[in-house]
Amino acid sequence: GEDVEQSLFLSVREGDSSVINCTYTDSSSTYLYWYKQEPGAGLQLLTYIFSNMDMKQDQRLTVLLNKKDKHLSLRIADTQTGDSAIYFCAEVYTGTASKLTFGTGTRLQVTL
């Protein structure tokens, strides 16, 4: 079955690195995504990784994928107050056409 889990809350100090974790159950995932949602807003696609990759880096963002453990993480370097938001991981997997299955979201709070 489809199940994507995330921890609910993370608090970090400005300037530190944030690591947001996600676990999923379906081993046939093809793409895995990270979205950011600010209060009252829609979802902004941050980055995605194809399932045959282990790592992807894009400026301050690093995505790590451990297929064996079905674990995905998003690292934000030099976290800023503007990074405060809810972060969702999502997957698309073989056989489901194009629907995204989302995690429950991790609320990131950045403190001064």
Tell me: does residue 88 bind other proteins (CB under 8 A).
Answer: yes
Nearer Cβ to other proteins, position 49 or 110? 49
Tell me: does residue 101 bind other proteins (CB under 8 A).
Answer: yes
- From 18, 110, 78, select the one nearest 6 (Cα to Cα): 18
Tell me: does residue 24 bind other proteins (CB under 8 A).
Answer: no
Nearer Cβ to other proteins, position 13 or 71? 71
Tell me: does residue 34 bind other proteins (CB under 8 A).
Answer: no
Nearer Cβ to other proteins, position 4 or 110? 4
Q: Which residues of 10-31 are buried (b: 16+ CB within 10 A; e: fewer)?
A: bebeeeeebebbbbbebeebee
33 vs 63: CA distance, rounded Å: 9
Burial class of residue 99, CB neighbours in 10 A (0-12, 13-18, 19+): exposed
Residues near other proteins (CB under 8 A): 4, 31, 35, 41-45, 48, 88, 90, 92, 96-105
